[in-house]
Chain A
Amino acid sequence: MASANRGLNRYFDINGWLFVAPAALLIAIFMVYPILQSLWMSFQTGRGMMTQFGGLANIRRLFDDPMFMLALYNTMIFFIVQVPVMLTLALFLASLLDNPNLKFRGLIRTAIFLPCVSSLVGYSVLFKSMFVQDGLINSTLVGLGISDHPIPWMTDPFWARVLIIIAITWRWTGYNMIFFLAALQNIDKSIYEASRIDGVPAWGRFFHLTVPMLKPVILFTVVTSTIGTLQLFDEVRNIMTSDAGAATGPSNSALTLSVYIYNLTFKFMPNMGYAATVSYVIVVAVALLAVIQFYALREKD
């Protein structure tokens, strides 16, 4: 009774509220209000400033919009292919770098992490110039005899997607690897010692000890990478969109949801309402995928 009373008193404590008021106010103005406003906006239809309430018209429009379906499809391709590839690679690199006998560990670790401090736009522009028809990559591949013709990175839908996946993997693998490395250092070495004495081979130690012990970190990296991939914008916009051209990558093969939102707002007849609706698709997709991932990687005791 006394403790409940204290809790209640604390609830009505004016000083406490005063302390959180500035932060709460800022969050209300710069977070809550825009979110609610964009939700309201997603029910508006019309061109530019001439909007009116359209009810569920925008949601209905989603279902017969081939461009939106293509953007959703592309985004899902990037997510399904890129996230597992990147995280497997990061986990692999992290367990290699965790080996204390490896020489130049610090240097290699820094080298792999370094891409992630580069500017998104900067590296995208660089990738673009490296991967154009007669760019560095193609002349190297042809020069070394790996490929007998230049690979159409920018002009073939399949290779365009491969290029985007290479780019984001290069940029983000090191970032995820650092999380794995930190978590690996928290695993008690005596567990490995015991398993070695029991005769567990290296691959067994990796799959049955390291991976389960890293589960919370894997969950974290999966969720953050999912969010990042679903919001993919900078790379695609800078590598694939030409200032004169209209498609994002050949056949719009690299058009992601975020780029489509950008097009709806800034490139096409400005349709803020529909763009807001598409942005809520990303919100719903991220929320759904996060719930599924939490469920799949939950602690089973």
Chain B
Amino acid sequence: MNKTFKTSLAALVFSTSSVLAMAAAQAKEITIWCWDPNFNVAIMKEAGAIYSKTHPDIKINVVDFAKADVEAKLQTTLASGVTDSLPDIVLIEDYGAQKYIQSFPGAFASMNDVVDYSKFAPYKVKLATVDGKTYSMPFDSGVTGLYYRKDYLEQAGFKPEDMQNLTWDKYIEIGKKVAEKTGKKMMGLDPNDAGLIRIMMQSAGGWYFNDKGELNITGNEALKAALKTEGQLLSSGITKPASGWSNWVSTFTSGDVATVITGVWITGTIKATKDQENKWGVAPIPKLDVKGATDASNLGGSSWYVLASSPEKKEAVDFLNSVYGKDVDFYQKILVNQGAVGSLMEARKGAAYETADAFFGGEKIWQKFADWLSKVPSVNYGVFTNEVDAAVASQLPAIGKGGDIDAALKAIEAQAKSSMQ
């Protein structure tokens, strides 16, 4: 009995030590969580390949989840306080940056002593900075554009010149013509999603919060105009209702709609539909009818964060800094292949931004996006964008049926106030 116990104890010790030894052998693996196989996953794999050339001892392991799963998993694990199952690097969408940094202090590593943040677009740095410390490696920008099907618009009697300098009224007018002549809808729109509201609002320099981060709803002219426009879009009959992201993507990959208004990161998805080559053009988004309205905005965009608990923290920061912080050629490559408009300023002077894109009939689309990027009004995303988004989304169907905008704004404000605690 006693002997058996000793033997099994010895076996246990051996197996444990071999597990530890294995862990030591793999110690130089950097695990990364991100979400889009056509976009940030592919880009991170590319970055990993570049870094591995000079650092053969480090293995980059890119794990691909759905975005909602990355966020839920990160948030649960951080809240549980158990750091073992966390990755070394995680991708976080910019809207949520302040939420994570502020509610889990100490969870993310600040990189000020390694990264030269003056080389990045200032708005990207600001949104990941708390008390003078910056916690992100700024990644892509979500500068928006209006993608349109040249063939459908031509059938409806519109030329590419007609798509420039649009107002939303003009856009709806064109949409009605397109529907009449081609039977196609103008855009896919998910009435449960406030994405288009955010695009329109930011294009006029507004957000749910003012510069100090205080809630700004009932007196917010940009938001009011955005809600009004969304109501007109929904009631005009030129939109194809979509439910959920993949359903929304299928509205244009299947050729059912004539335009897409969203962030530049969608370019990869549009280009993935090979049979639509030469049929797409790019124009600035329509302007709102308020003071300070521009034709440039932003949707989404995200940055890389290193977990402070990571045993490979130093290697992870060095990896991010040497590829994303310096490598201009890398940015040219991901621009051409994935359509990623990075936030490293000097990368925008690279040759790839000058190239003509064959898929878009030889248009120099990257130059356009780079121009619009410089015009995107800077706003404060605050800590509670998700909460206000939920409040806005609850009002959208009523607005689509012609509901009163001021009443909706009041309801949004009431709900947002009670959520922001």
Contact = CB atoms under 8 A, between A and B. Distances in A.
B245 to A, nearest CB: 4
A252 B105 contact: no
A251 B386 contact: no
Interface in B347-392: 383-384, 386-387, 389-392
Contacts of B104: 48-49
Interface in B49-70: 66-68
B13 to A, nearest CB: 27
B245 A66 contact: no
A50 B103 contact: yes
Nearest to A267: B386
Interface residues of A, number: 42
Contact of B103 (A157, A242, A270): A270
Nearest to A254: B192
B420 to A, nearest CB: 8
B265 to A, nearest CB: 12
A139 to B, nearest CB: 14
Interface stretch (A101-109, A148-156, A290-298): A148-156
Given A152-B241, A242-B244, A274-B421, A250 B103 contact: no
Interface string A253-268: 0000000000101111
B99 to A, nearest CB: 5
A248 B391 CA distance: 11
B244 A244 contact: yes
Interface string B215-254: 0000000000000000000000000111111011000000
A266 B72 contact: yes
Interface in B86-129: 99, 102-105
Contacts of B72: 266-267
A272 interface: yes
Interface string B381-421: 00110110111111111100000000000010011001111
A156 B103 contact: no
Residue of A155, A156, A265 ringed by the most chain B CB atoms within 10 A: A155
B78 A242 contact: no
A174 interface: no
Interface string A57-77: 000010011110010000000
Contact of B418 (A67, A242, A265): A67
A268 B244 CA distance: 19
Interface in A200-240: 240
Interface residues of B: mostly helix, strand, loop or mixed?
helix
Nearest to A249: B192
B76 A266 contact: yes
A270 B75 contact: yes
A153 B115 CA distance: 50
A241 B72 CA distance: 14
B195 interface: yes
B79 interface: yes
A245 B244 contact: yes
A252 B245 contact: no
Interface string B174-210: 0000000000000000111111000000000000000
Given A49-B105, A243-B67, A155 B419 contact: no
Interface in A104-156: 128, 132-133, 152, 154-156
Contact of A242 (B75, B76, B192): B192
A244 B193 contact: yes
B78 A269 contact: no
A132 B397 contact: no
A68 B349 CA distance: 50
B71 interface: yes
Contacts of B242: 133
A110 to B, nearest CB: 33
B64 to A, nearest CB: 14
A247 interface: yes
A267 B59 CA distance: 32
Contact of A247 (B66, B247, B390, B421): B390
Given A244-B244, A245-B393, 11 more contacts: A48-B78, A65-B419, A66-B411, A66-B414, A154-B192, A157-B397, A246-B390, A247-B393, A252-B394, A263-B390, A268-B390
27 contacts: A48-B79, A67-B390, A67-B391, A67-B415, A128-B243, A154-B243, A242-B190, A243-B68, A245-B190, A245-B192, A245-B245, A246-B389, A246-B390, A246-B392, A246-B393, A247-B193, A248-B192, A250-B191, A251-B396, A267-B71, A268-B390, A268-B419, A269-B387, A270-B79, A270-B103, A271-B421, A272-B79
User: A-B pairs with the 3 shortest C-beta distances?
Assistant: A48-B103, A242-B244, A247-B393
